[in-house]
Chain A
Amino acid sequence: MYFESFAALISMEGHGPYVWFSYGVGIVVLASLLVAARRRRAQLEQMLKAAARREQQQNKAAVTGER
């Protein structure tokens, strides 16, 4: 490591707030892109599975209704 101590890494000779704020926001923004995509996927899966179940039940009802 370039810095002599953990405290020196955090303070960065006074530039710490600028640097750490930038990276903090950076990580949050990048992570939220990933989370948003994952959430959308989960939501789609739920929606499509529910639709498939409904369809199956309707088919079953149609079959039993015929008897």
Chain B
Amino acid sequence: MSFWTYFHKWGSPRWFYQFSGRLMPWLAIPAVVLLLGGFAWGLAFVPPDFKQGNSFRIIYLHVPASAVAMGAYMLMATAGAIHLIWRMKLAAMVMKSVAPVGAALTFLALLTGAVWGKPTWGTYWVWDARITSVLILFFLYLGILALQQAFENQEAAAKACAVLAIVGAVNIPIIYWSVEWWYSLHQPASIKFVGESTIHSSMLRPLIATLTGMYCFLGWMVLLNTRNEILYRERNTRWVKDVLTGAGS
């Protein structure tokens, strides 16, 4: 099968519904285990930071929420682009499904950052480049949620949201490199793609766990929301009726 055949098969809501049903446990179980386990590990078993003390434990929630909020945005923008280029309805459903999850994670990133800032920096909030660009990310998510609601026509809503999502994607590299490009209060990243991470390995391991868990959680939530959207939009088809009356799963 060629790439495009696969691609079109992926575009079939019915196929996606069945495939995602099989995939979901593989995301749900790691999400719950890694998040709850990683939180407990980071809260009670890891030593405190030599300077910040115990407030540093917020890292195990703050970093995964922030990183996955950005990852979710890229997923949403990519789905939007696929919808615009190939007019794939499933991509629009995925895009719509990511937005509330991304908004919630961005809210968590901002809130945990503020709460962490008080004991370490001495303030809840400062208008530095990193924090402000994450606030913009939150507004982008809210904008997409609002835009989705503003249209009666589903197709028009999807197109408008896709364009906004793509344009807003420019903010993602700005968030990532804001701490390098400008003087900010927020410190640079501790987990580095190139070179050694500047967080001790005993503290890094639970962070990798909650980070992985949060990505699984995002996938899980996006699948749940997308499946709901599929059921709603295809409610008049034979296969959806069969799924719900138990004739098939």
A residues lining the B interface (CB < 8 Å): 1-3, 9, 12-16, 18-19, 21-23, 25-26, 29-30, 32-34, 36-38, 40-41, 44-45, 47-49, 51-52
Contacts and interface: CB of A to CB of B under 8 A. Distances in A.
A7 B16 CA distance: 49
A22 B58 contact: yes
A3 B45 CA distance: 8
A19 B244 CA distance: 43
A1 B108 contact: no
Q: Which of B53, B61, B104, B119 has the most CB of A within 10 A?
A: B61
Interface in B171-230: 217, 221, 224-225, 227-228
15 contacts: A15-B54, A18-B115, A18-B119, A19-B55, A23-B58, A25-B108, A26-B65, A26-B108, A30-B217, A33-B101, A33-B104, A33-B221, A37-B224, A44-B232, A52-B245
A13 B227 CA distance: 46
Which DSSP category, helix, strand, loop or mixed, fits chain B's interface? helix
Interface residues of B, number: 40
A41 B116 contact: no
Nearest to B241: A52
B221 A22 contact: no
Contacts of B55: 12, 15, 18-19
B10 to A, nearest CB: 21
Given A44-B231, A52-B244, A23 B108 contact: no
Given A2-B47, A13-B53, A22-B58, A30 B228 contact: no
Contacts of B85: none
A47 B233 CA distance: 13
Contacts of B57: 12, 15, 19
A29 B228 contact: no
B113 to A, nearest CB: 9
Contacts of A49: 244-245
B39 interface: yes
Contact of A2 (B35, B44, B101, B107): B44
Contacts of A51: 235
B61 A23 contact: yes
A19 B101 CA distance: 23
Contacts of A15: 53-55, 57, 119
Contacts of B100: 33, 36
Given A15-B53, A40-B228, A29 B108 contact: yes
B45 A2 contact: yes
A11 B119 CA distance: 14
A14 B57 CA distance: 13
Contacts of B45: 1-2
